[in-house]
Structure 1
Amino acid sequence: MKIFTNILVFLAVALIVFNITLLDFRNPFKGDSVVAFIGIAAAFCAVLILLIFKISKRIEEKTNEK
C-alpha cells in the first residue's frame, strides 16, 4: 500500500509541475491558464488527501501494535 500511495503522490506532483508549465503569467486568468490553475488546485488537494491517508495508516499501525 505504501508503494501505491507514493506513486500517486509522485503523479500528483508531476501534474502540478506540468500544469505550471501551461500557465501564462502575463494573463493568468484567461484561456488555458484557468484550466491549469484548476489542475494545480486539484493535484494539490490530491497530494494533501494522500498524505493524510499515509499519516492515518501510520497511526493505525501504531495503535494496533499495543
Structure 2
Amino acid sequence: MPALIRFMLHHLVIGFAIGAAAAIVLLAIQPQRLVNASELRLVVCLYVLGLGASFALGSLATALMMDTEG
C-alpha cells in the first residue's frame, strides 16, 4: 500500500474513532435528546456518523498541516 494512502487511512480512522466516541459520550450524558426519536437507531447512527466524519477530516487536515517530512 502506498505511503500516502496509509497515512490518510491512519488519520481518518483515528479521527473517526475519536469523533464516534465523543458522540456516544454526548448521547450518554444527555439521553433526553433522544426521547422523541421514533427511529432511535437511525438517529444514533447519523449522530455518530456526523461527528465521526467531522473529526476524521479535522484529524487528516491537522496531520497534513503538521507534517514536517516534506
Normalising by the smaller structure, the TM-score range is 0.3 to 0.5
User: If the length of structure 1 is used for normalisation, what is the TM-score?
Assistant: 0.47
Higher RCO (CA 8 Å, separation ≥ 6 residues)? 2
